[in-house]
Amino acid sequence: MGAKASSLLLLLGLLGGLWLGPVSELAAMDLAEGWEYRWGDSPFNAEGVPVWTLDQSSAAWSAIGFPSNPPGRNGQTNLWVRTTLPEGDWRDPVLYLFSVDLIVEIYLDGRKLYQYGRFDDAGRGRFEGWPWHMVSLPQDSAGELIYFRIFSDYKDIGLWGEVQVLERIDLLRRLVSGSIGRLIASGLTLLIGLLSLLFALVQPERGVFASLALFALASGSTVLSGAQANLLLFDAPLFWDYLGAAGYFLLPVAMAMLLQQWLRPAFQRLLGLIWMLNLAYLFAALSLSWVGVVSLAETYPVFDLLFLVSLLVMLLPALRFFRRGTRDQHLILAAYALLSLLLLLDMAVAHNVLPWGQVPLGWGSLGFALAVVVVSLTHYARMQHALRLLNASLEQQVQARTLELEQLALQDSLTGLKNRRFLDETLPRELALAKRQQSSLSVLICDIDHFKRFNDRHGHAAGDAVLQRVASHLHRVFRHTDLACRYGGEEFVVVMPGAGMDDARRCAETLRQLVKTDQIDYDGQRLEPVTLSVGIASWLDVERDADELLQRADRALYRAKANGRDRVECSD
């Protein structure tokens, strides 16, 4: 089985044991007191044993409570510290360190027990990350002096946090249970990050979701890199440290971008400046530390200063905006303020302004990410709803407009009668109906006589008035079920479904009389009366199609014209 698989199994087993099994009394001995320190590095004898570990006397050593940053450093990078291992009834004792700055060798009884990082011949070394350490102790080591050879070119040197002796299984349980919160918080935050990334790719509010994805992935990585159990999953401290640094340095970038999206259009330039500055710092810090110009540890204090300033600068406009914002923006800003507070507390702990303790940063980040998710999703849902409504009303408008256009396309604009296109579509249908029902159908073509002359005398506009007048007579004489159309120019066609030749002739005569006797005034003067010639054809069940029927009516009209106009002629 591979190392990764076995450590995963171990983690799962521990998780199971943690949830299912009874939690034992954790008998841990704190080594928080009674240390000695000595600046510089020990010479080594011919066997490679550090000489300082062979001399038990305290002559060259100074007493100190706990060896974090012992006094009198004067720029030195090498430090030795030692203490006596406590008495106890151990089965499988380990020494737990969290944490040491920055590389260390541990000696017991003149023998090297543990090494983290690599010392060169000059006693110096390269940054290797700052993980927790689990050092196996021999069972009979109680009461012996244990020595720590430490190198650090960071501003802090010595041991930090906790140094304890305890049973291995208790330590593993504690590491896992201590990480559960962070593992869950970071898992959820990373999940939010991935989902946001997906949303950023597929839906329109790209900016909000992309910056939320950045924030959630950054804070999720930071929190995960701080979960002590991560080394059980993947034993690569430097990887976790760089991931943690990248995530941490990205936080102000993502926060400024998110606020930029949410406070739009206010404070855009200021927030843009903040994220660009922080992003530039991230690239500079990580690449310089990667090539070894500075240590990763050294990049933190400068960043913390930048972060502090960024947080305060971002907090001020955010608070000023609070009064004017919407409910959604209030929620985001409240979550943002809470997260900022936690970040400030965390910074204060890291810089010894506050006593050592775990700040629930993970939950703060998760809360912030959740607030943004909730607001973004409700915003998205509201937008979708509004879009659906808009869509529906647009569809309605388009339908109504289409109908209008269709009607317009079938209508003559001057007279309001149906046009020739309408007749072309309708007449064949009416004919088919008449055929099926064996009913009559007549077609009339009415043409105004000498209309050219009329136009020439009275003008085109007066001609239009006459056309409109004839149209109104058509309305009056024929039924609603008859189809009166302007066929073109001064020609009208009426289709009379159910009407035989006699009916049609009677209507045509009525119309002819009406038009002839009509008195039309136009532009303050009485116009000369116009007359109509009408040709009629009735369906005889011998025509092949509508055209043939129309042609017969047209021939009848021609006869009416030829016979002196102002008359009705019927087809044979």
Contacting positions for ligand GTP (CB under 6 A)? 414, 447-453, 455, 460, 463-464, 467, 489-490, 561, 565
**Are the C-beta atoms of 256 and 340 separated by less than 8 Å?**
no
Which one, 208 or 467, has the nearer CB to ligand GTP?
467
Residue 33 exposure: Cα atoms within 13 Å on the Cβ side: 2
- Assess whether the previous peptide bond of 99 is cis (omega < 30° from 0): yes
Beta bridge pairs of residue 159 = 100
What minimum distance in Å lies between the beta carbon of 504 and ligand GTP?
20
Which one, 295 or 419, has the nearer CB to ligand GTP?
419
Which one, 435 or 457, has the nearer CB to ligand GTP?
457
Cα separation, 33 vs 30, in Å, equals 8
Q: Is the dihedral of CA 395, 400, 406, 409 positive or negative?
A: negative
Which one, 207 or 529, has the nearer CB to ligand GTP?
529
Cα separation, 492 vs 489, in Å, equals 8
Which one, 209 or 422, has the nearer CB to ligand GTP?
422
Amino acid identity at 351: H
Amino acid identity at 222: T
Which one, 304 or 490, has the nearer CB to ligand GTP?
490
CA geometry: angle 283, 287, 288, nearest 5 deg: 115
What minimum distance in Å lies between the beta carbon of 459 and ligand GTP?
8
- Assess whether the previous peptide bond of 265 is cis (omega < 30° from 0): yes
Which one, 239 or 558, has the nearer CB to ligand GTP?
558
Name the pairing type of β-strands 532-538 and 568-570.
Answer: parallel
Helix (H, G, I), strand (E, B) or coil at 543: coil
What minimum distance in Å lies between the beta carbon of 466 and ligand GTP?
7
**Are the C-beta atoms of 174 and 350 separated by less than 8 Å?**
no
What minimum distance in Å lies between the beta carbon of 461 and ligand GTP?
7
Which one, 177 or 468, has the nearer CB to ligand GTP?
468
**Are the C-beta atoms of 247 and 214 separated by less than 8 Å?**
no
What minimum distance in Å lies between the beta carbon of 531 and ligand GTP?
9
What minimum distance in Å lies between the beta carbon of 417 and ligand GTP?
12
User: Which segments within 137-262 are labelled E, that is strand?
Assistant: 145-151, 158-167
Can you give the length of the chain in residues? Answer: 572
Q: Is the dihedral of CA 214, 215, 221, 224 positive or negative?
A: negative
Which one, 111 or 457, has the nearer CB to ligand GTP?
457
Helix (H, G, I), strand (E, B) or coil at 163: strand
Please identify the residue of the shown chain whose CB is closest to the bound ligand GTP. 463
Dmax (CA) for the chain in angstroms is: 148
What minimum distance in Å lies between the beta carbon of 423 and ligand GTP?
16
Cα separation, 298 vs 285, in Å, equals 9
Which one, 182 or 458, has the nearer CB to ligand GTP?
458
Alpha helices (H) in 478-545, listed in sequence order: 501-517
What minimum distance in Å lies between the beta carbon of 533 and ligand GTP?
7
What minimum distance in Å lies between the beta carbon of 414 and ligand GTP?
6
What minimum distance in Å lies between the beta carbon of 420 and ligand GTP?
12
What minimum distance in Å lies between the beta carbon of 562 and ligand GTP?
10
CB neighbour burial string for 253-264, b if at least 16 within 10 angstroms, e if fewer: bbbbbbbbbbbe
Which one, 134 or 474, has the nearer CB to ligand GTP?
474
DSSP character string of 53-90: GT---STT-EEESS-BS-S--TT--EEEEEEEPPP---
